[in-house]
């Protein structure tokens, strides 16, 4: 993956989505902004509900040639025709997921603020590493991933990196030179006009 001059947008769905309205909302965002990838970050273990949501979002994404991955459910990723999986357990499942899904699938790994976990995940086959939260967020134990981590990673490591969690225009402006992707989710879905909010955030690049 070539590192673009400007970071790309990696869209993260809300933990619960209304099938009656969210696919249309997602379509509007995809039509109005350049999106590199979508992560289905659905809460809960209701397989039927997750499958229905994944089917609806996959149709919207693939109609626009946007890749879509799912958080943690390796088997569902395969069965539902998704492009891969995003793992939340740092480097622990990367090797197994890669073996299960094959060389062409996207396998990403969330590594909190740990460069060690990030390097391990990269070595075991992750296509990208996500660090966060970068701002004030309820993710993890409250430890934030600072600019120095992204700066070091961008200088030393080839694996693409995602900055996510609690993004603000100021943080986007600060991190733009040293990240490949911004993982944007809650920041926009909680607003009345997600697309306008996304554009306001990304204009800070």
Question: Is 1 a member of any domain?
Answer: no
Average pLDDT over residues 106-131: 97
Q: Which of 3-12, 48-57, 59-68, 171-180 has the lowest mean pLDDT?
A: 3-12
- The string of DSSP letters for 31-95 reads HHS-EEEEEE---S--HHHHHHHHHHHHHHHHTTT-EEEEES-HHHHHHTT-SEEEESSTTTTHH
Residue 4 has pLDDT above 90, yes or no: no
Q: What percent of the chain has pLDDT over 70?
A: 96
Structure tokens at 116: 């060690």
- What integer pLDDT is reported at residue 138 of this predicted model? 64
Give the pLDDT of residue 143: 86
Asked, for residue 142, whether it belongs to a domain, the answer is yes
Contact 139, 132 (CB under 8 A): yes
Per residue in 134-157, pLDDT (tens digit) is: 998 665 667 899 999 999 999 999
Q: Is there a domain that residue 81 lies in?
A: yes
Task: Report residue 35's pLDDT band, with 50, 70 and 90 as the boundaries.
Answer: very high
Task: Indicate the DSSP class of residue 109.
Answer: E
As a whole number of angstroms, the distance between CA 163 and CA 71 comes to 16
| pLDDT score, position 136 | 82
pLDDT band at 3 (very low <50, low <70, confident <90, very high): very low
Residue 28 lies in a domain: yes
How confident is the prediction for the chain on average, in pLDDT?
Answer: 94
Q: pLDDT digits over 163-201, tens only?
A: 999 999 999 999 999 999 999 999 999 999 999 999 999
Mean pLDDT of 58-86: 97
Q: How far apart are the C-alpha atoms of 93 and 72, rounded to whole Å?
A: 9
For residue 21, the domain's CATH number is: 3.20.20.70
Provide the domain count of the chain. 1
The answer to whether residue 121 is domain-embedded is yes
2 belongs to a structural domain: no
Q: Is residue 3 part of a domain?
A: no
Burial class for 46, CB neighbours closer than 10 Å (0-12, 13-18, 19+):
exposed
Show the domain range for 55. Answer: 8-202
53 within domain boundaries = yes
């Amino acid at each position: 993956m070539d590192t673009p001059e400007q970071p790309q947008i990696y869209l993260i769905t809300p933990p619960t989505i209304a099938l009656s309205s969210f696919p249309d909302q997602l379509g509007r965002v995809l039509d109005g902004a350049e999106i590199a990838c979508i992560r289905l970050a659905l809460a809960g273990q209701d397989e039927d509900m997750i499958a229905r949501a994944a089917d609806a979002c996959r149709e919207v994404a693939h109609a626009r040639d946007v890749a879509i991955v799912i958080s943690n459910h390796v088997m569902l990723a395969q069965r539902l025709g998704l492009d891969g999986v995003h793992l939340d357990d740092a480097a622990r499942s990367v090797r197994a997921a890669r073996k299960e899904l094959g060389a062409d699938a996207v396998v990403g790994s969330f590594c909190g603020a740990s460069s060690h976990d990030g390097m391990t995940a990269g070595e075991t086959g992750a296509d990208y590493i996500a660090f966060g939260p970068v701002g004030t967020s309820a993710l993890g134990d409250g430890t934030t991933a600072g600019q120095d981590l992204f700066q070091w990673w961008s200088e030393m490591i080839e694996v693409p990196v995602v900055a996510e969690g609690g993004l603000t225009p100021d943080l986007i402006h600060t991190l733009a030179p040293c990240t490949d992707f911004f993982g944007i989710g809650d920041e926009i879905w909680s607003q009345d006009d997600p697309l306008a909010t996304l554009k306001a955030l990304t204009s800070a690049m």
